[in-house]
Structure formats: structure tokens, C-alpha cells
Chain A
Amino acid sequence: MRLNVNGNTHEVDVEEDMPLLWVLRDELGITGPKYGCGIAQCGACTVHVDGMAVRSCQLAVGDVDGEITTIEGLGTPDALHAVQAAWVEHQVAQCGYCQSGQIMAAAAFLDLNDDPSDEEIDRAMSANLCRCGTYPRIREAVKTAAANLRSA
């Protein structure tokens, strides 16, 4: 089976019903996406398929029908995505486990709405859980990222 992940093509020999998250982490060694709940309740495994946020723990690899982007492919250390840069600026992460999913969710959200209200941010980000409670910083970082995307 052929997968495009972060611009690279990979050939993987796996069962079609293996969750994409397993393939990314165990087969391809792409460990940014995290396992949290396994039932799309927490958001730690969020990646993009053709730019849309998706819970990779729920997506069978045989059902993938687009190009996959993980946190590793969103930006580079030299050219961070606006959301990543805002995360650094606001020092959002505490333990960090959920942050890959948070950033991927925020990036997909801002792609469709680059001038969100606080309420819209809360709607968009509430499906990604953070046990450290970094939510206030997440909201501020999303606002900063939105402003930077608009002025880019």
C-alpha cells in the first residue's frame, strides 16, 4: 500500500484496517501524532488528510484517500508554520503530549477561518483535550497565529 506522508511516498505492507496512527508511528517511525484514547475523544492523534483535520486513531489506513500531513510536515525548524511559531511565542506546551494534535487542529481550523472570535476558537479547539490545562495559552496562541496568517 502506498501512502504520501509529509510529501514523501512510502510503501507499507500492513492490513487495510490498521489505524493510520499505528502505521505512522510503528511502521514509519513518525511519532509526532500521539495515542491518547483510541476512540476520537481526545485529539492527540490529529493529523491532516488533504489539509483537513482527522483523528488518525480512527482512520483505517485502507480508507486514506489523500496526502497526509503530520506535525513533522507542517513546518520546519527554520520555517515554522504560523501556529507553531505562535506556540513557541506563547510557550503553550507544558508536558507536551497533546500539543501535536492541538497544533494540527488549530492549523486546519485557521485554514478555513483566519479571523476567529474567542467563541469560535473554543468551539474549534474543545475537541482536543489537554490534561495540563494549557487552554488559555492555546487560545492566545491561536489568536496570534491568526493575526500572523492574515498579515502574511
Chain B
Amino acid sequence: MKTKIFGLIVLLAATATAIAANETSEVTMPAEGSVSVEEGLEAWSRVYEVASHPRCSNCHTGESGIPMWSGPSYGKTRPHGMNISAGESRIGAEFVTCGTCHIKTDRGNTVPHAAPMVNMDWQLAPAEADWFGKSSREICEQLRDPERNGGRTWQELAEHLDHDLILHWAWNPGGGREPAPYSLLEHIDDVLAWGVAGMPCPQG
């Protein structure tokens, strides 16, 4: 069974200026039973490489509401400068809105050290998706738990990757920042393979 589940706005990671081009591709869902648990775990390990990469995990922090600065272009791992907290609102409404500096624009990111910008309101991921410093098993179990993943099936998790522009930015961050590994398309393929394999999580 090959079901085309959704059109995908493909991120052109090699393009320095464009956040996303309106090039439509399609992702093909792997057939039921076509991915073994072992292959699913391999796919998950690549998903974890993405989830734990600073471009993703820096804004996947928990109830503290404090984003992190970490990764090759950030020096020592530390909380976001300027005493920033995104608060319970996750958009900084209680203190300084993320959008005060992370301007909503599609003009791309070229300047080192400037606040990254995309064409949607900058925000932290939900507190339940607390990935920073978490193990592969912990993130895997969170992502397959509907209580903590926004009530999503694995198909919906994959689809969710299609329309979040902050997430797309992770593969084209600009300003000298290291992009997330693989590509958005490969990441979606890995999420789908993991899902078809039954969402296996590493033990230990």
C-alpha cells in the first residue's frame, strides 16, 4: 500500500537566503509491515540526532520556559542570554515577547548573532516536549505518548513537520549556525519508518 499522505513544502537547505521555497514534493508512506523493528530503531536513532540537535533542542525546554543557547556557534552551553523566559505562554508574553527580537519575516537569516527569524511567531515548543538534555529513550517515549505529543498519531507527527516554519528553519538557520542533521524530507521519512515499525523505543 502506497499512500501519498501530504504535499510537502521542501526546504532548500542549500539556499542561504530562502527559508522555504514553494516547491511541492510528496512523501510516500512506507507500506504496513515493510519496516522491521530493527530498521525502525535505526530510523529513530536518526530522528533522535535531529531532536537532540541544538537547532531543535534549544527551544524544546520544559516548564522553566527558558530557552537554551548551545551548539558549535554558541560557545559554552547556557540559558538564553538577557535573562529571557518565554513563561507559561511559551511566547514570552509575561516578560519580553519572543517576537520583540525574533521578528516575523520571510527575509531569511544572514547576520551572525542576530535573533533568528521566520515567517511565523517565534515561540518555545510545548513544555511536554521537553527534549533538552533528555535521552533517546525519554524523547522517544514522549513522542509516542498521545498524552504528551499533542494527541497525535505517528502519521500526524510526520504531518506536523510539514507546516511549522520554525522547525523548517532548523535546516536552514543561517548566520553561521550549524543546521540540524539530514534534511527535513529525510527526517519525515525517518519518522514515518519509525511509525510503520510500531514506534519502537530504545531500551536503557
- Binary contact track A110-121/B, C-beta < 8 Å → 1, others 0: 001100000010
Cβ-defined contact, A53 with B97, below 8 A: yes
Flag whether B78 is at the interface (Cβ < 8 A). Answer: no
Q: Which chain B residue has the least Cβ–Cβ distance from A55?
A: B101
Q: Which chain A residue has the least Cβ–Cβ distance from B112?
A: A39
Given A109-B95, A112-B94, A123-B96: A63 touches B111 (CB 8 Å cut-off): no
Flag whether B103 is at the interface (Cβ < 8 A). Answer: yes
CA distance A84 to B160 in the complex (A): 45
Q: Distance in Å from the Cβ of B54 to the closest Cβ of chain A?
A: 19
For window 81-115 of B, CB contacts with A under 8 Å fall at: 81-85, 93-97, 99-101, 103-105, 107, 111, 113-115
Partner of B117, one of A58, A109, A126: A58
Interface residues on B, range: 20 to 34
Flag whether A127 is at the interface (Cβ < 8 A). Answer: yes
CA distance A25 to B83 in the complex (A): 29
Q: Which chain B residue has the least Cβ–Cβ distance from A52?
A: B97
Number of A residues, CB within 8 Å of B? 23
Cβ-defined contact, B100 with A127, below 8 A: yes
Cβ-defined contact, A55 with B93, below 8 A: no
- Binary contact track A38-64/B, C-beta < 8 Å → 1, others 0: 011100001000001111001110010
Cβ-defined contact, B101 with A109, below 8 A: no
Given A127-B82, A127-B84: A55 touches B94 (CB 8 Å cut-off): no
Cβ-defined contact, B97 with A41, below 8 A: no
Residues of A within 8 A of B (CB): 17, 39-41, 46, 52-55, 58-60, 63, 105, 109, 112-113, 120, 122-124, 126-127
16 contacts between A and B (CB under 8 A): A39-B113, A39-B115, A40-B101, A40-B114, A41-B82, A52-B97, A53-B96, A54-B99, A58-B101, A58-B103, A59-B105, A60-B107, A123-B84, A123-B85, A123-B94, A126-B84
